[in-house]
């Protein structure tokens, strides 16, 4: 009376592999965009920083991660001695060097 009868619907024809590829396409596109916008530039920066650190030489003027400016006085395997003033030397890790300045910047 009040309840109508329910009938099962016929199964819809599915594309199978085609619908799966279409549903994965946005995910793949997001990964490709993420790679070119974030991952690739970061890898390039890391490579440039590593090359800069390996090329450090005595007498180079550098900026550390803490913002300290100085002149490289000694270079070790993992540490660099930076002279920040006459007779004042700081020992820092090589990876803490952020930038190599042009000669004559630090006075």
The per-residue pLDDT for 16 is 64
Shared-domain flag, residues 28 and 68:
no
Pull the structure tokens for residue 64. 């550390």
Q: Looking at the domain assignment, is residue 72 inside a domain?
A: yes
Over the chain (107 residues), the average pLDDT of each successive run of 10 is 77 68 90 94 96 94 95 95 95 96 87
The per-residue pLDDT for 22 is 86
Q: Cβ atoms within 10 A of the Cβ of 81, count?
A: 16
CATH number, position 99? 2.30.30
Residues of the domain holding 50: 14-55
The per-residue pLDDT for 36 is 92
The 88-93 sheet, strands edge to edge: 88-93, 79-85, 69-75, 61-64, 97-101
Q: CA nearest 60: which of 47, 49, 50, 75?
A: 75
Shared-domain flag, residues 19 and 29:
yes
Shared-domain flag, residues 63 and 103:
yes
Q: Looking at the domain assignment, is residue 97 inside a domain?
A: yes
Is residue 66 a contact partner of residue 96, using CB atoms and an 8 Å limit? yes
Shared-domain flag, residues 67 and 105:
yes
């Amino acid at each position: 009376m009040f309840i109508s009868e329910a009938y099962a619907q016929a199964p819809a024809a599915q594309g199978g592999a085609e619908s799966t590829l279409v549903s994965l396409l946005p995910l793949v596109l997001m990964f490709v965009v993420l790679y070119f916008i974030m991952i690739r530039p970061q890898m390039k920066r890391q490579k440039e920083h590593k090359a800069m650190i390996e090329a450090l030489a005595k007498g180079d003027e550098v900026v550390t991660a803490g913002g300290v400016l100085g002149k490289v006085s000694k270079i070790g395997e993992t540490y660099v001695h930076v002279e920040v003033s006459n007779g004042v030397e700081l020992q820092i890790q090589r990876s803490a060097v952020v930038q190599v300045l042009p000669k004559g910047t630090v006075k």
